């Protein structure tokens, strides 16, 4: 007699249905698992055999063949143990009740019949929802908060016997779980009220938070680049329920800890970090920093100190908001939708363009240092900020806006975008065709962008980014259409580049249309 039991396989966060097909035959006692299992899956036969023996179902004079379908997909991890054990019980005529077709089973078996939590359980829950399964049997994990999914019943168990009892008509066991993370009180360590000066930079970061735009801050040492970046998460809206589950699943797959799941993640890798740690990888590819920053912020300080190879590997996640890792046995895709913040000095000594310190770098050293960040990477950045040191003399330290006030404006601007596009997507990532359809430019605005792009030799990507910025500025101001003023301010944000050998630093000066058309 053969049987089929549904489980869930994972390729990164993407799940697919795995059918544990079990055939029990008379013969020499043995268990064979096929379907491209890795070592942890092959060892499942020993765990299943010992568990069934301890429960009074010894596999005496039985040959068991287990096929994990689809056979062409590489299987890894012990999450198929529960499905395999149920298949053996049903095929061996130990289990009389029918196993529901709309239910999936995940969990690792202990030798005494207990079902243990496995790596990637949250990802499996998200996958079960997308695969339109109705019920999911999974081990109870007290370290995870309560998960509620529409149209998906989560049935928690502690042992294989619990599953058999439920099939017999007994109600599932109830467990005390922590409250959902969406109700967690957020704790902000740094507030914009503590940042003196930098009004223009704060405004630019508010625009970046509202539209999910990328920012590069350039300036001498000690001018406040790192402080602004560390304070930036305090103005980001709280994570939605779906985003919290995605964050939990990524951190669980990576084996990383995070104290607050309701706060957007903030990742700050050191410039000595390898490409694998930043992008992700390994024999069984794990999420890297770009994926752990999903739905949050990735801050790279001292950008020019990262290796050129590592920075160039950021091109795909910055553009596609996901990262694909290919290995011999599998190809895994992880989400990487984050707000990219970067900071760097204008030269090796840090004082090129400064009016208070003398730069000791040669022209060649400055050029070499600036070229460490390639043009394609700079081309993907929306806002280029040049900062200067702020002198405390003359500041009254009064009337500085708090992060909570700025955060409220950011939330209002995002709600305008969600309502406009009919989904939770911001101006920084909405398809360009949809952006123009909902917010068309006037003929004069199109001519202005064309003239600027011809004169400055701007790429099509930069032109599109200026339009996205203008739309976000208009949203922050509460405007229904992209105004000329918003478009000019977007051009100002994209014009504020790092110092070069032929130009001086710009510090947020306002420009008019004549400044862009005439010179």
Tokens coding 218: 């350039």
Which helix or strand (DSSP H or E) is residue 287 part of? Answer: strand 286-287
pLDDT for 178 equals 58
Decide which of 391 and 186 is more confident: 391
Convert the pLDDT of each residue in 91-142 to its tens digit. 999 999 999 989 999 999 999 999 999 988 999 999 999 999 999 999 998 8
**Backbone φ and ψ of 203, nearest 5°:** -65, -40
457/506 Cα distance (integer angstroms):
19
93/57 Cα distance (integer angstroms):
10
Convert the pLDDT of each residue in 5-62 to its tens digit. 999 999 888 899 999 999 999 888 899 999 999 998 999 999 999 999 999 998 888 9
pLDDT for 515 equals 52
Q: Which of 296, 321, 303, 300 is nearest to 233 (CA)?
A: 296
* Average pLDDT for 239-265: 85
pLDDT at 150 > cutoff 70: yes
278/251 Cα distance (integer angstroms):
14
Tokens coding 322: 């996901």
pLDDT for 508 equals 40
Q: Say yes or no: domain 2-167 is CATH 3.20.20.70.
A: no
Tokens coding 249: 């699943």
Sign of the Cα torsion 204, 207, 209, 212 reads: negative
Decide which of 84 and 396 is more confident: 84
pLDDT at 148 > cutoff 60: yes
Tokens coding 402: 């708090």
pLDDT at 282 > cutoff 70: yes
pLDDT for 166 equals 94
pLDDT at 516 > cutoff 70: no
* Residue-wise DSSP of 263-285: SPPEE---TT--HHHHHEETTTT
pLDDT for 268 equals 95
* The residue to which tokens 């300080």 are assigned: 301
- Return the SS3 of 37: strand
Confidence of residue 145 (pLDDT cuts 50, 70, 90): confident
Confidence of residue 503 (pLDDT cuts 50, 70, 90): very low
511/491 Cα distance (integer angstroms):
9
pLDDT at 194 > cutoff 90: no
pLDDT at 504 > cutoff 70: no
Confidence of residue 499 (pLDDT cuts 50, 70, 90): very low
pLDDT at 313 > cutoff 70: yes
* Average pLDDT for 328-341: 88
372/344 Cα distance (integer angstroms):
11
Tokens coding 235: 């103005």
List, in order, residues 6 or more apart from 422 with CB less than 8 Å away: none
pLDDT at 257 > cutoff 70: yes
Convert the pLDDT of each residue in 162-176 to its tens digit. 999 999 989 988 877
Confidence of residue 214 (pLDDT cuts 50, 70, 90): very high
Look over the chain and give the mean of its residue pLDDT values, rounded to a whole number: 88
Out of 290-299, 397-406, 504-513, which region has the weakest mean confidence (pLDDT)?
504-513
73 neighbors 10 (Cβ within 8 angstroms): no
| pTM exceeds 0.75 | yes
357/271 Cα distance (integer angstroms):
25
Out of 46-60, 231-245, 420-434, 503-517, which region has the weakest mean confidence (pLDDT)?
503-517
115/141 Cα distance (integer angstroms):
10
pLDDT at 326 > cutoff 90: no
* Residue-wise DSSP of 169-181: TPPPP----PPPG
Per CATH, the homologous superfamily of domain 192-517 is P-loop containing nucleotide triphosphate hydrolases (3.40.50.300)
70 preceded by cis ω (within 30°)? yes
343/346 Cα distance (integer angstroms):
10
pLDDT at 513 > cutoff 70: no
Chain-centroid distance, C-alpha 506: 33
pLDDT at 182 > cutoff 60: no
List, in order, residues 6 or more apart from 201 with CB less than 8 Å away: 217, 224, 228, 385, 387, 508
474/482 Cα distance (integer angstroms):
6
* The residue to which tokens 């704060």 are assigned: 202
pLDDT at 434 > cutoff 80: yes
Confidence of residue 509 (pLDDT cuts 50, 70, 90): very low
Q: Which of 215, 181, 212, 186 is nearest to 200 (CA)?
A: 215
Confidence of residue 394 (pLDDT cuts 50, 70, 90): low
pLDDT for 506 equals 34
Q: What pairing do the DSSP bridges indicate for beta strands 14-26 and 2-11? A: antiparallel
pLDDT for 129 equals 92
- pLDDT above 70: percentage of residues in the chain: 92
Chain-centroid distance, C-alpha 413: 22
Convert the pLDDT of each residue in 346-366 to its tens digit. 999 988 877 778 889 999 999
Confidence of residue 259 (pLDDT cuts 50, 70, 90): low
What are the domain boundaries of the chain?
A: 2-167, 192-517
Convert the pLDDT of each residue in 84-95 to its tens digit. 999 999 999 999
């Amino acid at each position: 007699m053969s049987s089929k039991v549904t489980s869930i396989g994972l390729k990164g966060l993407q799940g697919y249905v795995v059918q544990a097909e079990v055939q029990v035959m008379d013969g020499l006692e043995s268990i064979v698992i096929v379907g491209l299992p890795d070592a942890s899956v092959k060892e499942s036969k020993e765990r299943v055999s010992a568990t069934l023996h301890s429960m009074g179902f010894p596999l005496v004079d039985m040959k068991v063949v287990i096929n994990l379908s689809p056979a062409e997909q590489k299987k890894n991890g012990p999450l198929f143990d529960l499905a395999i054990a149920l298949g053996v019980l049903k095929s061996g005529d130990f289990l009389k009740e029918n196993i529901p077709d709309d239910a999936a089973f995940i969990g690792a078996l202990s030798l005494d019949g207990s079902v243990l939590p496995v790596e990637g359980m949250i990802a499996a829950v998200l996958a079960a929802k997308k695969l339109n399964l109705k019920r999911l049997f999974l081990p109870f994990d007290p370290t995870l908060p309560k998960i509620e999914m529409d149209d998906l019943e989560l049935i928690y168990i502690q042992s294989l016997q619990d599953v058999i009892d439920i099939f017999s008509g007994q109600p599932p066991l109830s467990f005390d779980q922590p409250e959902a993370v969406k109700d967690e009180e957020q704790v902000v360590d740094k507030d914009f009220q503590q940042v003196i000066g930098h009004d223009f930079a704060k405004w630019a970061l508010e625009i970046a938070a509202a539209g999910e735009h990328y920012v590069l801050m350039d300036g001498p040492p000690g001018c406040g680049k790192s402080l602004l970046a560390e304070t930036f998460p305090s103005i980001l809206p709280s994570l939605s329920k779906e985003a919290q589950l995605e964050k939990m699943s990524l951190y669980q797959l990576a084996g990383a800890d995070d104290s607050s799941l309701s706060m957007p993640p903030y990742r700050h890798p050191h410039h000595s970090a390898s490409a694998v740690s930043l992008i992700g990888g390994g024999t069984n590819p794990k999420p890297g920093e770009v994926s752990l920053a999903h739905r949050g912020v990735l801050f790279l300080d001292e950008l020019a100190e990262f290796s050129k190879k590592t920075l160039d590997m950021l091109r795909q996640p910055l553009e596609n908001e996901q990262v694909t890792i290919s290995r011999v046995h599998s190809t895994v895709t992880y989400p990487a939708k984050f707000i990219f913040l970067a900071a760097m000095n204008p030269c090796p000594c840090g004082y090129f363009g400064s009016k208070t310190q003398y730069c000791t770098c040669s022209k060649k050293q400055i050029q070499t240092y600036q070229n460490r960040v390639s043009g394609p990477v700079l081309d993907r950045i929306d806002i280029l900020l040049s900062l200067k040191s702020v002198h405390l003399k003359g500041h009254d330290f009064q009337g500085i806006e708090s992060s909570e006030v700025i955060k409220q404006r950011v939330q209002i601007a995002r709600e305008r975008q969600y309502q406009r596009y009919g989904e939770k997507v911001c101006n920084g990532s909405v398809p360009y065709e949809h952006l123009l359809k909902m917010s068309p430019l006037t003929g004069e605005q199109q001519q202005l962008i064309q003239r600027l792009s011809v004169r400055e030799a701007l790429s099509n990507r930069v032109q599109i980014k200026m339009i996205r910025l203008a739309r976000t500025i208009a949203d922050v101001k509460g405007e229904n259409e992209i105004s000329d003023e918003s478009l000019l301010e977007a051009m100002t944000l994209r014009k504020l580049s790092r110092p070069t050998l032929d130009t001086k630093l710009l510090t947020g000066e306002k420009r008019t249309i004549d400044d862009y058309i005439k010179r």
